[in-house]
Structure 1
Amino acid sequence: MNFRYLLKGLFASAFFLLYSTLLVAQNTIVSGKVIDASDKQPLPFVSVGFPGTTVGVTTDSDGKFTLNTSRQVTQIKISFVGYKEVVLNISPGKTQTLNTVSLQPISEQLTEVEIRSGKKVRYRNRDNPAVELIRRVIANKEKNRPERYNYVEYREYDKLQFALSNLPPSLTERKLLRKYAFLLNNKDSVTVPGKALTPIFLDEKLSQYYYRRNPEAERTVLLGEKKTDLGSFIDSDGINDYIKNLYAKVDVYDNNIFLVTKNFLSPISDNSPNFYKFFITDTITTADNSKLVELSFTPRNTEDILFEGKIYVTIDSNYAVQRVKLGINKNINVNYLTSMNINQDFEKNTDGRYRLVKSNTLAEFKVGKKRNGGFFGIRTITYGDYLINHPRPDTAYTGEKQTDEEIEALQKQPIEFWKQNRLDTLTTAESKVYTNIDSLTNMPSFKRTMDIATLVLAGYKSFGKFEIGPANTFYSFNPVEGLKLRLGGRTTPELSKRYYFETYAAYGFKDEKWKYFISATYSLNNKSIYKFPQNYVRFSFNRDTRVPGAQLQFVQRDNIFLSFTRGTNDKYLYNDLYRFDYVREFENHFSYSFTFRNLKQTPAGSLYYQNNTGRIQDLTTSDATLMFRYAPNEKFYQGKIYRIPIPNKYPIFTVDYTMGINKLFGGQYGYHNLHARVDKRVYLSQLGWADVFVEGGRMFSKVPYPLLNIFRANQSFNYDIYSYNLMNFLEFVSDKYVSVNIDQHFQGFFFNKVPLLKKLKWREVASFKAIKGGLTDQNNPAINGSLFQFPVTSTGAPITYALGNEPYMEGSVGIENIFKLLRVDLVRRFSYLDHPQVAQYGIRARVKFEF
């Protein structure tokens, strides 16, 4: 054994242990507690550190801290916004506990922050007391919601105002507008400093709300409602629903706050520290000696859909929000929105937790950059008469919904009711808006102006009980009919709420044939057939042309813009369709419908029907369809003679079954077809949202191809969300299939990070569509010669196919919000590229107004 090396090893080990011991012995460890000198309460989130080093901590909820360093330090610094800084001497290299440190509040409030150029300080979440505080607020969110109580009830006064802002004073001096001076001079210069508001719409609603936690149930009972009547040209209910969708109720404890059709990330969402910068900017002592910390925040990226502002947080075990001030950055990627402010105040319950007592949302919109002429909306919700953990009979939480008749009566509450029950006050300008709008809608000049506006914007010319339109269908053209002129119209609820008629007549100058449509509808619930819930029967007859496989969404078939198409598009059908519909909707948004059809299809253009026995003149079918639909929490933008669904996060389920009846009214086939579909808008917070729908179908009988599933194709240059934009008409048929469609809107999430692109306010979109299906032998004309042969070109080349083992797939990437209106997609087709007259790539465009 080599004792020399053994002694060296022992010596080295002893030296290392001795050195480590000396290092530990030289460590400086300081602990202590920080309190408020005025009330002796502990102060959390106070910064404690060794001057001249990067070593520091923040105090915990009890105001305690512990610091440890091996460096030679002789002082400790304690600082907190709103308090005088304290520097204390300490003994280096020792473990020591300080006496309780008292911080003296600074009497002056922080009024401004001055930023000077110099060395840039990098913001970070790590060791940031503001971020630590917001994380504690996030961790305590659930216990600060009203739903944490077993029982909650309160009154809610909801006031919604829409106004013109900063109209030029000279406006009433113009000859054409002098008669409207009574309206334009009714201005409010107090509600919003620096803004002169001219109210044109006002809605007041008073409700009683009941909530029970277990079993969970809630109920809202309307006590009264009053709103301006905008006349027959504008539906007041529809305007009210649309504005309330823009100015939705704000719950700061939600991860996302839905406003102006966008999902804003809440500053106290679960992942807000990844998108916001937080700063502790002040501390406040309330009248009851409670401590609040003022947390200021700003977006990391100013173009993202984020807020900026301040929240005030209690420094106790609840970490509750006591006040909220939210705004937006001027660079935010939202169209027409020039300013928005949300102010909320919370009040302490007897148990120390806080409840919302007032919420005020203000937003201004402008089409251009002019200083004057904007639109201003204000929604103020006031809560009062709170009762917590006071149980009521079951009927309070699960009672029946109020009837239409009861609601109509509550909309006629007298003036004295509102004087006694408003939880807020009306401004002088607001109090005049009811009579001013009533006078305006009775003026002949206003009626003429709205008549012209309805024709330009909606495409209909109103004659009171009847209207003509839509204007965009008056003229169109196609290869079979050539130039096609059309004129139509419909009755309005002014004629009757019970019965409705609709008709049109059209003429094709190439085929020299008349087409027409006529329908009669009868409402079974004495309510407009366009109002929810629908309950009506309809009889109709339609003789017109149709492209097999073309299923247009939300547009008329004869729209002039759809006359421009790509490729060959001359295979048409002449349809004679007799139809009966019964539709029934329920308050829970479940609905069903029954449809009976007798349809005669006659080929037109280059399309013809043929089997192994020769040409077939036409195809007649009679079928009955039963459809069930469930759309929970569905809401509509409701017009007088139309309604448009407002997208929400809830799925829509649809199932329908069709039975063909042989020999009934000339029907030539008996068959059974089942179809199901699920639609859902998926909100992805800062990544935008995606519209997703999945559907499937199965034909169980032997039928010719016109009765199979002919997939939705699109040969126009318009991008169709629901169709396959690089598929040709009649290209694919199937008797069994499943499909998926995803349309993703990123809302500028990526472009907002690119310096040159973010100023354009462009937004990224992407889509993917796929169908997997096939054709059984019983419906394959190559196997069964008695079936109609698939269509072919004039040279005999096939144009219609059954899906094989490979699914049909296409996808797109694009840019929307070009000029705030236009969406342009580069579409790629991934499969079946060997088919004739198909393209692997295509450019499609779509016009859509959005914020």
Structure 2
Amino acid sequence: MALNHFKKFIFIFAFVMPFLAFHVSAQTPVPAPARTVVTGVVSDASDKDPVPYATVLFKGTQIITKTDADGKFVISTSESHDQLQISYVGFKTAYITIKPGETQTVNVKLQSESENLKEVAITSNKRPAYRNKNNPAVELIRKVIENKAKNQNKNYDHVEYQQYEQLLFSLSNLSDKFKNKRIFKNYQFLFQNQDSTKVGGKLILPIFLEEKVSQNYLQKSPEKKKTIYTGDKHVNYDAKFIDTKGLSKYFERLYADMNIYESNISLVSNQFLSPIADASPTFYKFFITDTIKTHVPNLIELSFIPRNNTDLLFEGKMYITMDGNYAVQDAYLTVNKNINLNFVRALEAKLDFEKNPDGRYHLSKTNLIVDFGINKSKGGGFTGQRTVIIKDYQINKPQPANVYEGPATSTVPNAETQPDQFWAGQRTDTTLKTNLNIYKNIDTLQTIPSFKRTADLLTLFFAGYKNFGPFEVGPVNTFYSFNNVEGLRLRLGGRTTPELSKRYYFETYGAYGIKDEKWKYFLSGTYSLNDKSIYAFPQNYIRGSFQRDTKIPGQDLQFVQEDNFLLSFKRGQNNTLLYNDFYKIDYMHEFESHFSYELVARKWTQRPGGSLYFNNFENNMVNAVDHITTSELNLTLRYAPNEKFYQGKIYRVPIIDKFPIFTLKYTAGLKGVVGGEYNYQNIIARVDKRFYLSQFGYSDVTVEGGNTFGKVPFPLLTIHRANQTYSYQLDSYNLMNFLEFVSDHYASVNIDHSFNGFFFNKIPLVKKLKLREAISFKALFGGLREENNPNNDPSLLQFPKNDMGQDRTFALGRQPYLEGSVGIANIFKVLRVDAVKRFNYLNNPEVSEYGIRARVKFDF
């Protein structure tokens, strides 16, 4: 995820618990009194090899765990038990005496049961090397793979079911010593109902809870799916601090639905190869570890581990039915402690299936727990748990065609106001009822003055705004910046909040350049047409604005403002600016389907600044042009199916997924209308999409094309996105200079691929660093027609020259502009560094063939 994406993740929870900063001093949690914690390793007594997935439990209880791929285990309880029971198929069950109420280490050596077999064949003192060939476990998994199609929901003509889901997110690893600190005196009510999760037995403190109920319909031919939400209940935070709906979407991305029958399972923003994917025998090792004959039909316990324990793969076990269907009846998934996955301390998923009338199985319950932390071994963190229960499952019951009409997802009007009786009937599992007081606790928390002050301070730090009730000041990272033309630039601004009005919004700022001695300012007024905040989805508003400010030609920034202090540092010559006056009227209309259109009418006046000039030739004489003015009508169409985002204070931060985003933009210049000097038309089409390639990572691909019709000066052509900062920008050409290339027709492709450590994970020692590989390639095709080339028409504004009198602006020739990079990401978990190479147009002035660029990039 990008910087703003992770800043949002940290900000949400840092501010929810205002005391989180003090957790550093409590990094080593104090165990609850009389808690028994046992760690150890289970190994084979004969050859000392570890025994993976052995069962470890306190004798006579259901407190149970499994050893990992290295035979290691941790088990704990607050109850008083003095004996451990360890078992594994093919070995004698071992019983170990332990000391209740203490933390201790126990290493267990299991004795083989081979003396009880009628025939024993001894071929070597060592276990044979693992092979797929002639391996009964691999033969079994191939049977499962062969039968996947008939065991999936989509194999039925019609399916319908009701789904209840609960998502709980909590602060974790809290101790009594930490809880009783004086700073938490006013927050003790939050600690009243601590619980213990399965992951590590850590104490948790709920801070977010969401429950949803939906009715789901699936049709095979033609393929259709309809989800109708009949209930939606969640914790509500103050909108001026947190976008609760965006937070919900973000969690949905982290804790996506788990379908073991899909080749890849999306989890914590990554894709894991399913243990029953077609390619799973290439990446997993499989072992038959038990046979269960007490179940009808009989089940085979099939355990699996990754061949490389740093790859994005699961380890765990599945129970396979031996009735000819080879279906998964139950599954337990976790990850190896060495996996190349950031901030995840532990992950466990339990999948339960129920039998259909036709003898096949459907998923009936999933329980996913993920424990997050900056430090993987100690200290405070976050734990998230998502439980999904499916009931009333019916097959081959056709529905009327109108059931599938409209968008694929809809919500009934009273979904958010369902009574308590409705929810009580949905919580069929007792564990789902233990943290419901969070709804009241969070409401109470937000009334405490000290919490409000801390939340306000953290909003200033992370979002950049200081709230003063009906008005907020910011963003603070633009208060100070500098460049070669304006010199030191000082700015102060702000905007109104919903406390003043939900429908009326005003925004303004003023800035002053010490060197150019010019004032810049902005003022806008917005009226919401749907009685919602203009930042709430779906947007529907009209806005009028005026802006007088500077802009670097060819710099197009995403999720950051151009006068951000950190972007003040640039390479090469940076002394060309445009002074712009914008008069604009905007109308924006979004729909629930994530289709939107925006209409804009604007008058735009451009004046050159710094070393930039507007000159043409008249009567063989140089003529200086003070400014150019255009009047434009603009229509932008955008369609982003299934788009999810978090609404920040300034921008929407997208939660990137596999779905494409289509954008079409049309602009018409109107000569003679309110001072417009040019007639022209411009059209730009763009598609953005992420392609997931399973174990080989993912590619972000952008394809874009544009054409300008009409005769226009170079400032109205497409000035291609350049980057002269030292940061790596995904959407710009990182070794192209500002204003270097212009076109009236162009096409481009941009590919950025992350391998997620696929190669580094295979290199000894290097894999311990958890580094990840990245490559990118960018190609830009374009050109100028004769009518828009000032080298052929002196009446046009001439391309500018640099301080040495050399041409600095060019049209692309027959060759496309090509640029590529090779990068190392996940350095210290936060940094990506790219070695960038420019492949052509190297004779242009002030060109760098190579460069090193870096960007902050947080990923799981």
* Aligned residue number for residue 239 of structure 1: 247
* Aligned residue number for residue 169 of structure 2: 162
Q: Tell me, what secondary structure is at the counterpart of 1:626?
A: strand
Q: Judge conservation of contact 2:337–2:346 (CA < 8 Å) in 1.
A: yes
Q: Judge conservation of contact 1:110–1:282 (CA < 8 Å) in 2.
A: no
CA distance in 2, matches of 1:238, 1:604: 41
Q: How far is 1:769 from its partner?
A: 0.7
CA distance in 1, matches of 2:383, 2:327: 31
Gaps of 5+ in 2: 1-88, 96-107, 113-123
Residues 763, 392 of structure 1: alpha-carbon distance in 2 compared, 3 angstrom cutoff: same
Equivalent of 1:552 in 551, 557, 561: 557
Alignment coverage as a number of residue pairs:
744
Q: How far is 1:204 from its partner?
A: 1.1
* Aligned residue number for residue 212 of structure 2: 205
Equivalent of 1:284 in 287, 292, 314: 292
CA distance in 2, matches of 1:307, 1:580: 53
Q: Deviations over 1:168-204 (max 9, x none)?
A: 2112322111221111242112655622222121111
1:730 corresponds to 2:735 = no
* Aligned residue number for residue 148 of structure 1: 155
* Aligned residue number for residue 441 of structure 2: 436
For normalisation by structure 1, the TM-score amounts to 0.84
Describe how 1:220-235 pairs up with structure 2 within 5 A: 220-232=227-239, 233-235=241-243
Equivalent of 1:183 in 190, 201, 211: 190
CA distance in 2, matches of 1:227, 1:746: 36
CA distance in 1, matches of 2:790, 2:348: 65
Residues 106, 174 of structure 1: alpha-carbon distance in 2 compared, 3 angstrom cutoff: closer
Residues 654, 357 of structure 1: alpha-carbon distance in 2 compared, 3 angstrom cutoff: same
Residues 420, 292 of structure 1: alpha-carbon distance in 2 compared, 3 angstrom cutoff: same
Q: Judge conservation of contact 1:325–1:341 (CA < 8 Å) in 2.
A: yes
Equivalent of 1:215 in 203, 210, 222: 222
1:304 corresponds to 2:308 = no
Equivalent of 2:465 in 450, 460, 464: 460
Q: Deviations over 1:491-527 (max 9, x none)?
A: 2233333222211111111111110111112222222
CA distance in 2, matches of 1:791, 1:333: 49
Describe how 1:820-835 pairs up with structure 2 within 5 A: 820-835=829-844
Q: Tell me, what secondary structure is at the counterpart of 2:195?
A: coil
Q: How far is 1:107 from its partner?
A: 13
Residues 391, 515 of structure 1: alpha-carbon distance in 2 compared, 3 angstrom cutoff: same
* Aligned residue number for residue 248 of structure 1: 256
* Aligned residue number for residue 844 of structure 1: 853
* Aligned residue number for residue 29 of structure 2: none
The sequence identity of aligned pairs, in percent, is: 57
Q: Judge conservation of contact 1:383–1:423 (CA < 8 Å) in 2.
A: no
CA distance in 2, matches of 1:635, 1:504: 30
CA distance in 2, matches of 1:192, 1:743: 35
Equivalent of 1:331 in 332, 338, 353: 338
1:790 corresponds to 2:795 = no
Q: How far is 1:212 from its partner?
A: 2.4
Q: Tell me, what secondary structure is at the counterpart of 2:491?
A: strand
Describe how 1:377-456 pairs up with structure 2 within 5 A: 377-398=384-405, 406-407=412-413, 409-426=414-431, 429-456=434-461
Residues 582, 455 of structure 1: alpha-carbon distance in 2 compared, 3 angstrom cutoff: same
* Aligned residue number for residue 492 of structure 1: 497
Q: Deviations over 1:786-819 (max 9, x none)?
A: 1011001234211111111111111100111111
CA distance in 2, matches of 1:110, 1:592: 69
* Aligned residue number for residue 135 of structure 2: 128
Describe how 1:524-673 pairs up with structure 2 within 5 A: 524-613=529-618, 614-639=623-648, 642-673=651-682
Q: Judge conservation of contact 2:284–2:305 (CA < 8 Å) in 1.
A: yes
* Aligned residue number for residue 481 of structure 1: 486
Equivalent of 2:781 in 772, 779, 802: 772
CA distance in 2, matches of 1:390, 1:547: 61
CA distance in 2, matches of 1:557, 1:142: 52
Residues 205, 128 of structure 1: alpha-carbon distance in 2 compared, 3 angstrom cutoff: same
CA distance in 2, matches of 1:226, 1:627: 35
CA distance in 1, matches of 2:649, 2:403: 33
Q: Tell me, what secondary structure is at the counterpart of 1:612?
A: strand
Q: Judge conservation of contact 2:590–2:597 (CA < 8 Å) in 1.
A: yes
Equivalent of 1:137 in 137, 144, 156: 144
Q: How far is 1:640 from its partner?
A: 7.2
Moved more, 646-655 or 796-805: 646-655
1:511 corresponds to 2:516 = yes
Q: How far is 1:208 from its partner?
A: 1.5
CA distance in 2, matches of 1:110, 1:525: 68
Q: How far is 1:656 from its partner?
A: 1.5
Q: Tell me, what secondary structure is at the counterpart of 2:532?
A: coil
Q: Tell me, what secondary structure is at the counterpart of 1:136?
A: helix
Q: How far is 1:637 from its partner?
A: 2.3
Moved more, 685-694 or 105-114: 105-114
CA distance in 2, matches of 1:543, 1:320: 66
Q: How far is 1:440 from its partner?
A: 1.0
* Aligned residue number for residue 686 of structure 2: 677
For normalisation by structure 2, the TM-score amounts to 0.84
Q: Deviations over 1:292-311 (max 9, x none)?
A: 11111111111111110011
Equivalent of 1:172 in 171, 179, 183: 179
Equivalent of 2:327 in 291, 307, 320: 320
The structure with the larger Rg is 1
Q: How far is 1:214 from its partner?
A: 2.9
Q: How far is 1:122 from its partner?
A: 1.4
Moved more, 694-703 or 169-178: 169-178
Q: Which amino acid aligns with 2:613?
A: Y
Q: Judge conservation of contact 1:741–1:770 (CA < 8 Å) in 2.
A: yes
Q: Judge conservation of contact 1:340–1:363 (CA < 8 Å) in 2.
A: yes
Q: How far is 1:402 from its partner?
A: 8.4
Q: Judge conservation of contact 1:635–1:646 (CA < 8 Å) in 2.
A: yes
Q: Deviations over 1:545-575 (max 9, x none)?
A: 1111111111111011111111111011110
Q: How far is 1:841 from its partner?
A: 0.5
CA distance in 1, matches of 2:729, 2:327: 47
CA distance in 1, matches of 2:559, 2:680: 29
Q: CA RMSD in A?
A: 2.2
CA distance in 2, matches of 1:641, 1:411: 27
Q: Which amino acid aligns with 1:817?
A: N
CA distance in 2, matches of 1:844, 1:399: 46
Residues 426, 132 of structure 1: alpha-carbon distance in 2 compared, 3 angstrom cutoff: closer
Q: How far is 1:737 from its partner?
A: 1.0
CA distance in 2, matches of 1:669, 1:624: 13
CA distance in 2, matches of 1:700, 1:549: 20
Q: How far is 1:329 from its partner?
A: 0.3
Q: How far is 1:435 from its partner?
A: 1.6
Q: Which amino acid aligns with 1:769?
A: K
Residues 110, 230 of structure 1: alpha-carbon distance in 2 compared, 3 angstrom cutoff: farther
Q: How far is 1:471 from its partner?
A: 1.2
Q: Judge conservation of contact 1:157–1:423 (CA < 8 Å) in 2.
A: no
Q: How far is 1:421 from its partner?
A: 3.2
CA distance in 2, matches of 1:369, 1:740: 39
Q: Deviations over 1:804-837 (max 9, x none)?
A: 1111111100111111111111111100111111
CA distance in 2, matches of 1:650, 1:412: 31
Q: Judge conservation of contact 2:137–2:302 (CA < 8 Å) in 1.
A: yes
Q: Judge conservation of contact 2:482–2:565 (CA < 8 Å) in 1.
A: yes
